[in-house]
Structures are given as structure tokens and as C-alpha cells.
A and B are shown apart, each in its own frame.
Chain A
């Protein structure tokens, strides 16, 4: 190979290397632009999903006229101490709490020791095969409150609590249970029309904005009550907390 040929080969190689480097640079720039674009689009999709959800909730909101605490709870009893109960109708531990503490709660109300406020939240919608049982049950409870039968309905709904990851009780069954405690056609209409379902979402949002995360959450005069080991309080814990708050 002559010197001239060698030089030409070397020059060709340098040109090729430069071309490859150029290509790499171009590809890097445009793929990076594409990545940023994809992430921006994903963010926008998230934002749109979020705002359409917000809009749906506010436009459909019907607050039961009997609700207290910024329209997010139903109150029973007239005692000075306030007991707030945040419960999800799908939550088995709420059911256990209700069973264990029913007598104490009934006593607090009937002896006017406390005002008990029920907040039916819906944080477990994903456990009912897409039928959103938590929301439907909470909405139905609002309709029951409007019909003057909240506690009766609350009790029978827990007595018939569906398993988590089942489809929950269907609306027909919810209406049947409502009728069994004396609720009428207004109740059935509200359940079928999902009148208070957006309200259930609002109750849940209020619950979250107060930095409560799990159900049941039991709050006495603004202070969360827990068992000695930090779990769900039992009837004795509740009694003690109310007595302490009463002074």
C-alpha cells in the first residue's frame, strides 16, 4: 500500500468516526426531547384526570340537610363531649369496633354523656370489584339519615357486611335492608340515583384533610383515641377518653 493510499484510508476513517459521533449526538438530543415530551404529556393526562374527577365530585354534590360538622357527619346525643367516628362500611375492623363498643356508644348517647358524630367515609372502594361499595354504602347511609334512620341502617349494614374483594351488596339489597328498618321510597330513589355518592367523597376528603388515614378512626374532643398499643380502641379506651374529656 502506498503512502497516498494509507493517508486516504486514515482520512476516510476519521470522517466516518465524525459522522458516527454526529449521529450519536443527534440521536441523544432528539431522544431526550422525546423523553421529556412523553413525561410532560403523562403529567398533563394526570392533571386532566384529576380535574375531571374534581369537577364531577363538586357538580354532583348534594349535602344532606341533617348533616353537621361542615355537612360531613350525623350527630346523635347532646352530651358536651364530642365523639367522632370515621368508619367505612367495607372495613371489617370497623365492624369489630362497632360490635365491641355498641353498648358503650349507645350509653354515651342515651345518657347524654357525649354527642356522637358518625362520618361514613369511603376509602376502600377498590375492595368491591369496581362496584364502589364503600361509596354506595356511605351514600345510602346519608339517605337513611335524611329519612331519620341513620343508626338503625348503620347497624343493619354492618350486620350484613360483605367480604372484602366481593362485589359488595348491590343496590337492591341495600334498599331491602333500608326498608327493613323503616325507610321508604325516598331512600330507594336516593340509592338508585346515587344522590349522595359525591357527598361520600366529600366526607372522605374532609377525613383525609384532617390527616386521618385509616378506619375506624375514633376522635374524642379533637384528640384521636387509640388502644394502649396504638391500635383500634376498645370500649374501655373509649369510655376512659370520654370521661377524661368530660373532666
Chain B
């Protein structure tokens, strides 16, 4: 079947795409952990001390997840964890949106306050939903080309 042969390739693209997303997102935040903590705090979900810890740990987790996806180790599990993270991010954005907070989501940037009308929650949610779709593809079809999984399973 044509599609059966195509899936590993589609999944490979999804895997590398998702890896890039997490590597970029984590890489942009890891240089200024205090800033990352402030971005978490801007959501006003956790108190400031908790936000600081989340803000410091999150970039490292994102980079680790990105690297795991890049080499393709336990792709289904990595994808599941990615999906979980993305669901949490989307929930956070929707929560900030519904409370009328004027913040940048801080997904790939500094986060924090923005002027009235400069928020783009809809766009942020749509983008994260797109990433969630990539994770979904990998959850259903975790077999990919050029992966550690494939190497260890003895696939050619």
C-alpha cells in the first residue's frame, strides 16, 4: 500500500519538526532563566516563587525533549510527553485569554505584558495546536526513518 510506505516518512518530518520546535523554544529561554520565570509569572497562575522554579526548569526540559525527538528515542513516549506539555501550554494561554490578561504567551520570546490589542492568543493557540498535531501523528505512527528506535529494533 502506498500510504503504508509513506507513513514513516511523514512521521519523520513530524518528529524533526517537533524536535526543532522544542529546541528553539528552549534555546531562546535558557540564556535568561530569570526572564523565563517572569514570563511564567505573567500568567498569574502560580505564585512568583513557583513561577521562578518552573521558568528555570522548563527550558532545560524543552531542550532535552527536543534532543530526544531529534535522535528518535522512544518516539511514542517522547511524543506523548510533548503532547502533554503542549496541552498544558494551550490551557495556560486560554486561561490567560479568558481572564483578559494583556500578556505575550512567552512561547518563543520574552513574554510579559503587551499593550491593549497587541495580544495574539488566537494565533498562539492555533500554532500550539499545530504542534500538537505533529505530536499526535507520532503517537499514532511512531515508526520513523533515521531514528535510534529503528536502529535498536534492527530495522534497515
> B residues engaging A (CB < 8 A)?
31-35, 37-38, 41-42, 44, 47-49, 51-53, 56-61, 63-65, 67-68, 73-74, 77-78, 81, 102-103, 110-117, 148-149, 152-154
Contacts and interface: CB of A to CB of B under 8 A. Distances in A.
B48 A31 contact: no
Contacts of B152: 27, 31
Interface stretch (A4-12, A41-49, A142-150, A180-188): A41-49
Interface of A: 20, 23-24, 27-28, 31-32, 34-36, 38-39, 41-43, 45-47, 49-50, 53-54, 123, 125-126, 201, 204-205, 208-209, 211-214, 229-232
Given A31-B73, A35-B77, A211-B44, A23 B65 contact: no
B41 A47 contact: no
A213 B74 contact: no
Interface majority SS (helix, strand, loop, mixed), chain A: helix
Most buried by A among B74, B116, B148, B149: B74
Contacts of A46: 33, 56-61
Contacts of B81: 35, 39
Contacts of A42: 57, 60-61, 63-64
Given A126-B32, A211-B44, A49 B60 contact: yes
Contact of A53 (B33, B44, B57, B117): B33
4 A-B pairs with the lowest CB-CB distances in the bound complex, closest first: A230-B116, A214-B113, A46-B57, A50-B56
Contacts of A36: 77
- Max chain B C-beta neighbours (<10 A), residue from A20, A23, A35, A53: A35
Given A31-B149, A126-B31, A213 B38 contact: yes
Contacts, number: 111
A165 to B, nearest CB: 13
B94 to A, nearest CB: 19
B143 to A, nearest CB: 11
Contacts of B149: 27, 31
Nearest to A40: B64
A132 to B, nearest CB: 10
Contacts of A231: 115-116
A43 B64 CA distance: 9
Nearest to A230: B116
Contacts of B56: 46-47, 49-50, 53
A212 B103 CA distance: 11
A127 to B, nearest CB: 9
27 contacts: A20-B154, A31-B73, A31-B74, A31-B149, A34-B74, A35-B68, A35-B77, A38-B64, A42-B61, A42-B63, A46-B33, A46-B57, A46-B60, A50-B56, A53-B56, A126-B32, A201-B34, A204-B38, A205-B48, A209-B41, A209-B48, A211-B41, A211-B44, A212-B113, A213-B111, A214-B113, A231-B115
Contacts of B113: 212-214
